[in-house]
Amino acid sequence: MAQAKSAKAQTKAIRQQQAVVAEENRRAASGELFDQMRATRREQARIRVASGEAGLSLQSGTIENLLMDSAMQGQLQGSRTMANLESRQAATTAEAASCSSPGRIQ
């Protein structure tokens, strides 16, 4: 009975720690996404300013392509950030499962 109670308490502690790590990972990914969006907007602003200083129209094919490429790169970075978050969460879940497995070596 004491062992069952101890195991239940340990499982609860592992789940709580897993929730804390998941929240930390989520916050880190949110911060990365926000920083990436800001960097993309800054890059696009630089492209617009440079094109204006050079006397180029924002509707020119070259400028539109640069802006679209910048947006696409930002989206790709965001996708990588989300994939990394999912990977970290899966690793955390696997680690928690291995810690709560009976007969594990401590």
Average pLDDT over the chain reads: 89
Kindly list the domain boundaries of the chain, sorted by start residue.
Answer: 2-98
Distance (Å) of CA 2 to CA 32, 63, 103: 45, 71, 17
Evaluate if residue 86 carries a pLDDT over 70: yes
Averaged pLDDT, 88-96: 88
Q: Which residues contact 67 (CB under 8 A, 6 or more apart)?
A: 44, 47, 48, 58
Please state, in angstroms and rounded to a whole number, the distance separating the CA atoms of residues 29 and 10.
Answer: 28
Evaluate if residue 23 carries a pLDDT over 50: yes
pLDDT tens digits for range 48-66: 999 999 999 989 999 999 9
Structure confidence at residue 102 (pLDDT)? 57
Structure confidence at residue 105 (pLDDT)? 44
How many CB atoms lie under 10 A from the CB of residue 29?
19
pTM over 0.85: no
How sure is the predictor about 83, in pLDDT bands with cuts at 50, 70 and 90? very high
